[in-house]
C-alpha cells in the first residue's frame, strides 16, 4: 500500500470525475455505504475495531478511484472552472509561454495576453503563465506590441481537465481514467501524450 499523501479520485455512479478526496473522507464514504463501485489499484488498507459478535476486525480497502451513488448534473459546454495561479501554472506545464523556460511556481506570474488596461479580461483564454522577467518586459502591452511571441494558445480546461490539474501526485490509473474524459482535440491531452507543449 502507498503512503497516505495520495488522493482518491471520486466519481459519480456514471463514472464522471467529481473531485479529489483524502483517505479519511474515502473511508467515511465506504462506511456510510455511499460507494457504488471501485476501480483502479488498491491504495490503502485500513483496519478498524474488533466486532464483539464475530470476533473479526473490520477492514476497508480503498482504491484509487471510487464511484459514489447518484449522478451529478452534467457540466455543460459552458462550464468554466475557477481561475487560479497554481492551476494555470499546471495547465502551462510551469513554462513561461514567452521564453519557453521551466520555472518553479514562486518565479511565475499570471500574464494577461490582452492587458486589462486594454479591456482584456481575467479569463482562461486571455491568461498565460509567464516568468516575472518576461511579464515585466511585456508590461501593459499585447505580445505583438511588445515584439514577443506567444508559444501556445491559452485555453479553458474542461471539468475533467480541471480535476486533473487540481490533483497532486496523480497515479497512472487515475490519469488514464481522467484522460478518457478529455476532448480528443484537447491541448492538454496532446501535451500529456507527446510530453510537449501543444
- Which whole-number Å values give the CA distances from 81 to 7, 175, 178, in the listed order? 20, 19, 16
The count of other CB atoms within 10 Å of the CB of residue 120 is: 15
What pLDDT does 1 receive? Answer: 47
∠ CA 142-198-9, rounded to 5°: 110
- DSSP lists the bridge partners of residue 130 as 109
- Who's near 101: CB < 8 A, 6+ residues apart? 95, 131
Residue 17 cell numbers, joined: 470525475
Are 191 and 197 a contacting pair, CB within 8 Å? yes
Predicted confidence (pLDDT) per residue in 90-106, tens digit:
999 999 999 999 999 99
Predicted confidence (pLDDT) per residue in 65-82, tens digit:
999 997 766 666 677 999
What pLDDT does 47 receive? Answer: 84
Instruction: Provide the whole-model pTM.
Output: 0.83
Amino acid at each position: 500500500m502507498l503512503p497516505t499523501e495520495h488522493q482518491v479520485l471520486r466519481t459519480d455512479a456514471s463514472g464522471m470525475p467529481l473531485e479529489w478526496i483524502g483517505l479519511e473522507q474515502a473511508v467515511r464514504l465506504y462506511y456510510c455505504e455511499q460507494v457504488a463501485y471501485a476501480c483502479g489499484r488498491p491504495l490503502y488498507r485500513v483496519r478498524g475495531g474488533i466486532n464483539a459478535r464475530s470476533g473479526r476486525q473490520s477492514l476497508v480497502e480503498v482504491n484509487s478511484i471510487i464511484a459514489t451513488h447518484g449522478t451529478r448534473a452534467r457540466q455543460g459546454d459552458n462550464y468554466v472552472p475557477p481561475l487560479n495561479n497554481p492551476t494555470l501554472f499546471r495547465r502551462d506545464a510551469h513554462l513561461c509561454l514567452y521564453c519557453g523556460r521551466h520555472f518553479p511556481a514562486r518565479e511565475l506570474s499570471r500574464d494577461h495576453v490582452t492587458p486589462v488596461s486594454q479591456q482584456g479580461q481575467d479569463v482562461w483564454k486571455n491568461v498565460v503563465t509567464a516568468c516575472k522577467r518576461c511579464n515585466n518586459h511585456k508590461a501593459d502591452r499585447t505580445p505583438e506590441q511588445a515584439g514577443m511571441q506567444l508559444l501556445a494558445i491559452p485555453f479553458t480546461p474542461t471539468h475533467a481537465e480541471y480535476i486533473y490539474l487540481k490533483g497532486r501526485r496523480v497515479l497512472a490509473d487515475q490519469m488514464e481514467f481522467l484522460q478518457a474524459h478529455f476532448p480528443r482535440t484537447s491541448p492538454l491531452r496532446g501535451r500529456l501524450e507527446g510530453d510537449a507543449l501543444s
